Homo-oligomer: A and B are copies of this chain.
Amino acid sequence: MTQLNNQTQAQALNPPPRLLMGPGPINADPRVLRAMSAQLIGQYDPAMTGYMNETMARYRKVFKTDNQWTFLIDGTSRAGIEAVLVSAIRPGDAVLVPIFGRFGHLLAEIAQRAGAEVHTIEAPWGEVFTPEQIEEAIKKVQPKMLAIVQGDTSTTMCQPLEHLGDICRRHDVLFYSDATASIVGNEFKTDEWQLDAVSVGLQKCLGGPSGSAPVTLSERYVNWVRKRKKVEAGIRTEGHKDGSEPFIRSNYFDIPMILDYWGEERLNHHTEATTMLYGASECARIVIEEGVDASIARHALHGSAMVQGVQALGLKVFGNLEYKMNNVLGVYIPDEVEGDKVRGQMLEDFGIEIGTSFGPLHGKIWRIGTMGYNARKSAVLQTLSCLDACLAANGYKGPKGEAAAAALEFYAHG
């Protein structure tokens, strides 16, 4: 068995224990990992189609929607974004993307790849848009679709969406939001806010691994994309008719075909990623068991405790706090310490991951998350105590030994 000496096969998987307190991914809820260790079943097994239907029902609750078409795209969060955009956008269609951080740029980029005529407006990093700013741009651009991030972890800002649905309906614009980083950690009301499409991922407040993208789609969105229907040559029969609009420029992300797989037609498309579906479904089950509103309140509580703790250390929190996401904060790196060295020591010595940052904030702020399974008191207190000690070990000149105490005080008396 000389082969066993070979490094590429001999190492057993044994990830180091890490407390993931960055902007995501975070530690998965152990119940999700257990669900994912269940054995597979066939894709047309009645048990499997039953699980698919159950997953749809669970995510309707997560998204606060009655939308029939609430299901999973098999890929990471940006697979969900691309599926929503490429299925709806014909080459040349105008799309408006208000950008207030990195993930706004991503929506614009994906829309551009899909052939859209992309129009953007930008807010300074750390701020959000007013409804008036967005309506003004809509009037000017007259887009087919408004695509906007709800919570952008790059800036920690949470864009208010509640007035945008009305505006979109008045101007006959499809309203899409990427709520990957915010769902179940911040208020989100698909139907009440009149969204036509929402996509998310599991690796933030839902407490699962990256690799599955739950989406929900309004009837208005579905009626539109079904006009672009095209059934695969390998499985089409005489009854199949193509739609009246140009076909979608992706097979994998062709939502009308994916609906025929998740719907009663059960027309084969991809082979559903069963293990990821087990995980996605369990993420939703856990949130529903706690209650979606209770989950949001929990994220608000522990996010606030983290803010109290870092402020007690004399650190300044980034951005307009009125619009801060519950589940992540940005904190300015003190001048006298090296940001990457502190982050490195936090990971290597203390076993806790906090986040760096992108673009204009790179090297200026750290990002600390309190989300999903890690939106809990012990995770907050461990992070604050260790950051406190680690800063002191790195020559920080501000307050010392105050972080956990401030959080405890907050938990005790608000």
Q: Which residues of A contact B (CB under 8 A)?
A: 3-4, 6-9, 11, 13-18, 20, 22, 24-28, 30, 33-43, 45, 47-48, 51, 54, 57-58, 61, 74-79, 82, 86, 102-106, 108-110, 113-115, 154, 201, 203, 209-211, 232-235, 247-254, 268, 270-276, 278-279, 281-282, 285, 288-289, 291, 347, 353, 358-359
Chain B residue at minimum C-beta to C-beta distance from A114: B249
15 contacts between A and B (CB under 8 A): A6-B288, A9-B288, A15-B41, A17-B39, A40-B209, A74-B76, A76-B252, A78-B270, A79-B79, A104-B234, A106-B232, A106-B251, A113-B249, A211-B274, A234-B359
Task: Give the residues in chain B near A38, CB-CB below 8 Å.
Answer: 13-15, 33
The answer to whether A105 and B234 touch across the interface, beta carbons within 8 angstroms, is yes
The answer to whether B77 and A271 touch across the interface, beta carbons within 8 angstroms, is yes
The answer to whether A106 and B234 touch across the interface, beta carbons within 8 angstroms, is yes
Bound complex: CA A179 to CA B229 (Å): 28
Task: Give the residues in chain B near A106, CB-CB below 8 Å.
Answer: 232, 234, 251
A9, A26, A27, A35 — which one has the most chain B CB atoms within 10 A of its CB? A9
The answer to whether A109 and B232 touch across the interface, beta carbons within 8 angstroms, is yes
Pick from B14, B35, B54, B248: contact of A8, CB below 8 A: B54
Given contacts A37-B37, A249-B249, 20 further A-B contacts (CB under 8 A): A16-B47, A20-B42, A26-B40, A34-B37, A36-B36, A40-B203, A40-B209, A42-B347, A75-B252, A79-B270, A102-B234, A105-B232, A109-B251, A113-B254, A154-B234, A234-B359, A235-B359, A268-B358, A273-B276, A275-B279
Pick from B82, B103, B285: contact of A234, CB below 8 A: B103
Chain B residue at minimum C-beta to C-beta distance from A50: B11
Task: Give the residues in chain B near A108, CB-CB below 8 Å.
Answer: 233
Bound complex: CA A9 to CA B358 (Å): 38
Quote the shortest CB–CB distance from A30 to chain B (angstroms).
8
Chain B residue at minimum C-beta to C-beta distance from A22: B42
Bound complex: CA A271 to CA B80 (Å): 13
Task: Give the residues in chain B near A40, CB-CB below 8 Å.
Answer: 15, 20, 25-28, 203, 209
The answer to whether B251 and A250 touch across the interface, beta carbons within 8 angstroms, is no
Bound complex: CA A52 to CA B299 (Å): 32
The answer to whether B209 and A274 touch across the interface, beta carbons within 8 angstroms, is yes
Bound complex: CA A404 to CA B157 (Å): 65
**CB-CB under 8 A for A353 and B45, given A77-B270, A211-B275:** yes
